Amino acid sequence: MVKHLNTTNINFEQDFNDLLLQNRCVQNDVSGVVKDILQNVKNHGDQALFDYTKKFDKFLIDNYTIRVRKQEIEDALSNCNEDTLKALKLSAKRITDFHIRHIPENDQITDDIGVGLGIRWNAVEAAGIYVPGGKAAYPSSVLMNAIPAKVAGVERIVMVVPSPNGYLNPLVLVAAHISGISEIYKIGGAQAIAALAYGTETVKSVDVIAGPGNAYVAAAKKEVFGTVGIDMIAGPSEILVLADNKNDPSWVAIDLLSQAEHDEMSQSILITDSEAYADKVVDEIEKHLKTMPRADIARVSWQNQGCIIIVSDLNDAPVLINQIAPEHLELAIEYPKRVLTKIRNAGSIFIGRYTPEAIGDYIAGPNHVLPTSGNARFSSGLSALNFMKRTTLIQCDAKSLAKIGPSAMILAGEEGLDAHKASIAIRLEKKIT
């Protein structure tokens, strides 16, 4: 049953708190199995990958067939529908154009006492992109994960993708080609994460791993963090629509279902100031569910995870939105920018009635890999920065060291770190006292 909350109800605060504390990421604990898989790949390399692929994907691979061949990519390209290819290329261009604008610049100054200070940005040398396989294939996710790495300047980008029963969706290969990826391996699950993190005879290790996956992939990314960097641990998808009663309820209904169709644990939330309008949206949801191919999934998501919140005034909504910190936020209201200035926590914001969340999933340009489960309170969506690192620069000459060195020596002495103190003193030709 879809949850109904109303800010005027005496129990609203408790009900809303329960919504915030709801854990949609509850899974069977797979950490023990994942640790065993990681260790096995670490110890036995390629052979472990071959064995796990046979076990989980029902597919035999060896040293030759583990990697996608150039001919397979060319076949996928030649068989790709022309309109689909154009759409993928347009998406890639827009993603590239957006992300390249946010590459940080190096900075260097000499301060007023002569100390040179700066920051230098570099891309990591190698990045691994995990692409889910199985029930569905998402070429858009290939673009969204790979292009920021390319824009950042990563020289080697590796893609791993499971091939259940030997089948690999050709659009995934097309998207990889458009993104500039040619090193692709037919492996998935925790074993693929292990290969990217530790390396095997065939798969060389990387520095950063990005991309979504199932519970085993998520657990594996958690385990290898520290050996490599990771993008984030993403949970089920979410959308929050703030809508007034001037919207076509059918539009809002299908926007809510656009996330519900992802997964039974996805969450769709409607905030509005009209109970009557909310009822109209619910009616339209039922109409859409009758024709949706993924209606079984969407219905379970909507009924079990969905929520409608009625507020007395739409101006009260930002307080609630900031606490929810949704992955996707639609502002389908008359004057969205008035509310926009009050929103602090959201993965991505879609402004106005003609900006459905789905446009951001494919073609707008900003990344669709976004923080879930309230993590937008402290984290951001995927960008080129996930594949970059900054190095600070410091340069003293004899005169500038003489000006700040004595204070550093005092602090080192207070901390009892005599070698620190001496390394400065020796340059200042002072004795340690």
- Catalytic residue set: 327-328
3-state SS of the chain?
A: CCEEEECCCCCHHHHHHHHHHCCCCCCCCCHHHHHHHHHHHHHHCHHHHHHHHHHHHCCCCCCCCCECCHHHHHHHHHCCCHHHHHHHHHHHHHHHHHHHCCCCCCEEEECCCCCEEEEEEEECCEEEEECCCCCCCCHHHHHHHHHHHHHHCCCEEEEECCCHHHCCCHHHHHHHHHHCCCEEECCCHHHHHHHHHHCCCCCCCCCEEECCCCHHHHHHHHHHECCEEECCCCCCCEEEEEECCCCCHHHHHHHHHHHHCCCCCCEEEEEECCHHHHHHHHHHHHHHHCCCCCHHHHHHHHHHHCEEEECCCHHHHHHHHHHHCCCEEEEECCCHHHHHCCCCCCCEEEECCCCCHHHHHHCCCCCCCCCCCCHHHCCCCCCHHHHEEEEEEEECCHHHHHHHHHHHHHHHHHCCCHHHHHHHHHHHCCCCC
